[in-house]
Amino acid sequence: MKKTLLTLTVLAMAGSVALAAEGDAKKKAPDPAKRVAALLKASDTDGDEALSKDEFAASKMAETMNKNKGEGAADKFFGKADADSDGKLSKEELTKAMSGGGKKKKPATT
């Protein structure tokens, strides 16, 4: 009886730890679309639903990038994410970049 109770207790604890870890993983990696919506809401000062280089540079995201990855990290991100080189990051460009797909292709050399 004691062995069964001990086994059930261990299994219950293991299940709780697994659920807690899954919850933490979800908190650490929020949906890129939600992050983009929050970034635009906080930083799009002219309301054009895109971030100019100045708007992005003034954002909390850019500040965090420069703090964690070194000065210039936000500029580098902006350059890679601005796929059409119009000097603005659209909702689509931001979403793609935050999902890990915002890298510009290097021109082919012949």
Q: Is the pLDDT of residue 16 over 60?
A: no
Q: pLDDT per residue over 71-86, tens digit each?
A: 999 999 999 999 999 9
Percent of the chain residues topping a pLDDT of 90: 60
Contacts of 44 (CB under 8 A, 6+ apart): 50, 51, 55
Q: Give the pair of three-digit tokens for residue 21.
A: 């870890």
Q: pLDDT per residue over 41-59, tens digit each?
A: 999 999 999 999 999 999 9
For the chain, domains (ranges, CATH) are 32-98 (1.10.238.10)
pTM of structure: 0.66
Q: What is the DSSP letter of 89?
A: E
For residue 57, with 0-12 CB atoms within 10 Å meaning exposed, 13-18 middle and 19 or more buried, which class applies? middle
Q: Give the pair of three-digit tokens for residue 25.
A: 């993983």
